[in-house]
Amino acid sequence: MSRIARRAVLAGGVALPLVAVRTRPARAAEFAYKFANNMAETHPLVIRTREAAVRIREKTGGRVEIQVFPNSQLGSDTDTLSQLRSGAVELFSLSGLILSTLVPAASINGVGFAFKDYGQVWPAMDGALGAHVRAEIAKRGLYAFGKQFDNGYRQITSSSKPIRTPEDLNGFKIRVPPSPLWTSMFKAFGAAPTSINFSETYSALQTKLVDGQENPLAIIETAKLYEVQKYLTVTNHMWDGFWILANRKAFEAMPADVRAIVEGEFNASAMQEREDVARLNAGLRTALEGKGVQFVAADAAVFRAALKKAGFYAEWKEKFGAEAWKALEDAVGGLA
């Protein structure tokens, strides 16, 4: 059936067998919201949020219908953040580091080599440090759900040469997500970072606009970055996670009991996604090697020392301010 014919049928309410094309319940939902994200269909964030949407529809008796738009289908991260603020998009998962263009405190978890392991990450992000960031987010008219989804520990990839030491990053053209902290960190390594949204990253690597990028293994796999990258250095230079953000007006339009279901189900999916991602990031090395990626070992302590020498920690301690820096150091120990 052509699109016009289908629209005519839907408009006329004619009882034809539409089951195959219809993905929404017959009655329009009271709250029909869009959830935007930048991940591939196969990434656990998409799989688990789709599951949350199904449970939310069921538990609210069809009052809430959340449609998941993966792959930056609604726009790049920076575009979508504007749409979220205007209310054109109601829900969006975004790295705290990119959110920091609006909420400076939100990039605090990205300080290089801050979190030793997940045993430090989740108590901090589910605890005092996360609460500090969520309070700052609330001041900007957005609402952040309680549980972040995991992105993971980030690793450097390259198409041109293996990166073994900070010196190898000298002048290296690397894509970083749009965020002052990311740019600052790679400049401190002596690299030449370019801010590019994730939606443009594959093609930027393919056309050699940049030679490298950095992301967790789960993304290198699901977004197929291995097709355009050759070397992968295990640096674990930063832990990154996704806040689930809601346009506050849209969120508060729902009654309290409905809001509790929506946030509760996203939070439950976050806990599952964290396990999925941890499993993927731990187990993908063999799969990626099978696709031709060469793994390169690196001494994280040497990279960290390079940041320190360049004044990176002193600079960001000053920028975040004493309260936020203390919340970070309470979680991970002394940094600078």
Question: Which is nearer to ligand X2X, 95 or 233 (by Cβ)?
Answer: 95
Three-state SS letters, 117-151: CHHHHHHHHCCHHHHHHHHHHHCCCEEECCCCEEE
Q: How far is the CB of 63 from ligand X2X (least distance, A)?
A: 30
For residue 211, give every residue at least 6 positions away whose Cβ sits within 8 Å of its Cβ, in sequence order, or none: 158, 159, 160, 161, 172, 173, 174, 205
Total binding residues for ligand X2X by CB under 6 A? 9
Q: Which of residues 205-234 bind ligand X2X (CB under 6 A)?
A: 215, 219
- Give the residue ranges of DSSP H helices in 216-321: 217-222, 248-252, 256-290, 300-309, 312-320
- Which residues ranging from 7 to 26 are in contact with ligand X2X (CB under 6 A)? none
Least CB distance to ligand X2X at residue 215 (A) = 5
**Shortest distance in whole angstroms from residue 46 CB to ligand X2X:** 12
- Note whether 95 binds ligand X2X by CB under 6 A: yes
Other C-beta atoms within 10 Å of 308: how many?
A: 16
- Residue 92 is a binding residue for ligand X2X (CB under 6 A): no
Cβ-contact 50, 40 below 8 angstroms: no
CA distance 77 to 102: 12
Closest to ligand X2X by CB, 258 vs 284, is 284
**Interaction between residue 45 and ligand X2X (CB under 6 A):** no
Rule CB under 6 A: choose which of 151, 247, 269, 281 binds ligand X2X. 151
177 binds ligand X2X (CB under 6 A): yes
Applying CB under 6 A, does 198 fall inside the site for ligand X2X? yes
Cα–Cα distance measured from residue 97 to residue 241, given in angstroms and rounded to the nearest whole number: 9
Rule CB under 6 A: choose which of 150, 211, 240, 265 binds ligand X2X: 240
CB 328 within 8 A of CB 300: no
Per CB under 6 A, does 38 bind ligand X2X?
A: yes
What does residue 31 show for φ and ψ, rounded to 5 degrees? -125, 95
Q: Is 99 in the site for ligand X2X (CB under 6 A)?
A: no
User: Token digits for 84?
Assistant: 């979220």
Contact residues for ligand X2X (CB under 6 A)? 38, 95, 98, 151, 177, 198, 215, 219, 240
